[in-house]
A and B are shown apart, each in its own frame.
Chain A
Amino acid sequence: MTIRQLAVFLENKTGYLNQVLAVLAKYNINIIALTVADTSDFGILRAIVSDPEKALDVLREDGFSVRIQDVFSIEMDAAPGTMSRILDLFTAADICIEYVYAFSFGSKSILILRTDNTKKSVEVIIANNLKSISEADLK
């Protein structure tokens, strides 16, 4: 139901993102999905990678501030209106979405979701029989 996501603190400096990417490339870590949330002062890079533990180690080694969190990963039909319907289920349960992003993997469309209430979110996913993706599915 969940997969591990890498979060890296990004200072607002030219070339900073490149440095993170260069470290991942050097250790042959594949980026499956990536998004950057930014403010005027700093950003947070969130990524789904092929080997989160190794990524954590090598980035820390290089002095980056990194953490791993579990996020919901839901498989969607590649059809208009799917994502809207899924999010409606969470809204109906009065769950707030902290952030969301989506990507394609092979023929699959995957929704990454972080909410303010993990326990209730799990109930929504089970009750509505939403299909989720595991890390093994992304190999």
Chain B
Amino acid sequence: MNDGSRIKRQEARGIKKSSRLLNKETGAEFKNITTHSKEILIWNKKIECMKSKDMRALQSARLIELVNRVYDHVPFYRKKMNDLGVKPGDIQSIDDITKLPFTCKSDLRDNYPFNLFAVPMKEIVRIHASSGTTGKPTTVGYTKNDIENWREVVARCLTMAGIGKDDIMQISYGYGLFTGGMGVHYGAETVGCTVIPISGGNTRRQLQLMSDFNSTVLACTPSYALHLADALSENGYSLKDMKLKTGVFGAEPWTENMRHELEKKWGIQAFDIYGLSEIMGPGVANDCKCHAGLHVHEDHFFPEIVHPDTKESLPDGQEGELVFTTLTKEGIPLLRYNTRDLSTLNREPCLCGRTTVRMKKITGRSDDMLIIRGVNLFPSQIEHVLLEMGETSAHYMLYVDRENNLDTLELKVELDDSKLTDTIRDLQNLSRRIEHSLNSAIGLHVKVTLVQPKTIARSEGKAVRVVDNRKKE
């Protein structure tokens, strides 16, 4: 009897059993294995090197359990499935996943704050949130098991990057409602790192502690890592003062060229950690030392690629929108959540020995969402703030740029004729008020420039609201 069928049988007994089993599964296996003459550490060899057939069996069992659970406990999904004429009994294996409805970001917004939660609030032990498209954040909740699974997947990611007990990890992702800081933190403690939870910002202190505490790993957005590298010399440091050897970068798309630049500037190996709060946070996927795509933790997050227009499933190797089903999530389980990130899937076993499916590094999206310093931003959020204030026209253009490797935002907005006065102060106060409102709504600093009415190009059809001047590496 192989492992897969054992798991399948046990899982079929229900969620309580399956969550206990999960904890057993995660029983930190930290063994050296030798593959292709390279010594590579794998956190959970049983799962990460599982035969494809066994993985499908595990995924099938988990999907069946998940579908029954959301049908019973989430009215939104019961209605969606009923509308499509799908009953939980129609889902017999992972191959039936295409019968299930999609979920998109607006569904989370429409069900703000807790209507997609599948468990009573007393089971939820943590809330995270990200800014939403109309001023309301999208909210996610985690049960104890969710947090345990999150630890586990981040531990797998960090192990892929060769990080372990001997490492001192400086976590410069933001801590708080954003999933980045705490998500990586728990996984780093799990693999036994010494964690420095410094959070984002304060460049000088980042460098001082990196030097004084001998940090060996830096976890932050790739753009912040570049910014820190460029700030070394002006703060009186050189690479000789640092012990950094690994970078775990994510929360925004970045290219292979950016990886080479970061590796050169810091003298490190740079790894890409992928994730999104709707699915879990950081740790959904990560690249190993082969840097040949990101290993998806597909026992927890089942990936699909769909056509951006028709939403039909696409075969491996073809590019489309990346969709995830959270196979084990209890707090806010999602069926076929469309990330709108563009990627491809590759199921060939990796040279590192892992058999988990790999997704291509994300470099683009199928919608107009911008990622600014790791924060998701839709141009419509800007519009919403302007309309709500009602002090300018709603004609605006957002200019995104990168100065010293940090993203900058400038908003040009047309002055409303009736708001013009003969004093400078009134106009300066107006731009400051707009800056303040934007800052509280989207959590980003936006420089506001008032421009002459009717000078922002009107376009026929879909309005062009964003000029992204960040260099395409």
Contacts and interface: CB of A to CB of B under 8 A. Distances in A.
Contacts of B415: 9, 65
A29 B382 CA distance: 41
A46 B431 CA distance: 20
Interface string A74-109: 000000000000000000000000110000000000
A113 to B, nearest CB: 12
Contact of B452 (A37, A63, A98, A114): A63
B351 interface: no
B46 interface: no
B422 A5 contact: yes
B212 interface: no
B9 interface: no
Interface in A1-17: 5, 7, 9, 11
B420 A9 contact: yes
A125 interface: no
Nearest to B426: A44
B396 to A, nearest CB: 15
Given A9-B415, A63-B455, A65-B417, A99 B423 contact: yes
Given A42-B427, A44-B427, A7 B450 contact: no
B427 A7 contact: no
Contact of A9 (B425, B428, B452, B454): B452
A42 B421 contact: no
B449 interface: yes
A44 B453 contact: no
A124 interface: no
B449 to A, nearest CB: 5
Nearest to A39: B424
B423 A11 contact: no
A28 B377 CA distance: 49
B451 interface: yes
A64 B452 contact: yes
A63 B423 contact: no
Main secondary structure of the interface of A (DSSP, over half): strand
Contacts of A58: none
A133 to B, nearest CB: 18
Nearest to A46: B422
A41 interface: yes
Contact of B453 (A41, A63, A67, A69): A63
A64 B420 CA distance: 11
A63 B417 CA distance: 10
B422 A39 contact: no
A35 to B, nearest CB: 10
B449 A114 contact: no
A5 B421 CA distance: 11
Contacts of A7: 420-422
A39 B453 contact: no
A66 B421 CA distance: 9
Interface string A12-55: 00000000000000000000000001010110101000000000
A46 B421 CA distance: 10
Nearest to A9: B420
A28 B449 CA distance: 32
Interface in B417-441: 417, 420-425, 427-428, 431
Nearest to B447: A41
Q: Which of B415, B421, B423, B431 is most buried by chain A, counting CB atoms within 10 A of its CB?
A: B423
A65 B424 contact: no
Nearest to A64: B452
Given A9-B415, A65-B417, A41 B423 contact: no
B180 to A, nearest CB: 33
B291 to A, nearest CB: 44
B420 A66 contact: yes
Contact of A39 (B421, B428, B452, B455): B428
Contacts of A63: 452-455
Nearest to B418: A67
A98 B422 CA distance: 10
B392 to A, nearest CB: 11
A41 B449 contact: yes
A69 B423 CA distance: 11
A63 B452 CA distance: 8
Contacts of B423: 37, 44, 98-99, 114
Nearest to A42: B450
A5 B452 CA distance: 20
B449 A42 contact: yes
A65 to B, nearest CB: 5
Contacts of B452: 9, 11, 63-65
B408 to A, nearest CB: 15
A68 to B, nearest CB: 9
Interface of A: 5, 7, 9, 11, 37, 39, 41-42, 44, 46, 60, 63-67, 69, 71, 98-99, 114
The 3 closest A-B pairs by CB, nearest first: A7-B422, A65-B420, A67-B420
Interface of B: 415, 417, 420-425, 427-428, 431, 449-455
17 contacts: A7-B420, A9-B420, A9-B452, A39-B428, A42-B450, A44-B422, A44-B423, A46-B422, A63-B453, A63-B454, A65-B415, A65-B420, A65-B453, A66-B417, A67-B422, A114-B422, A114-B423
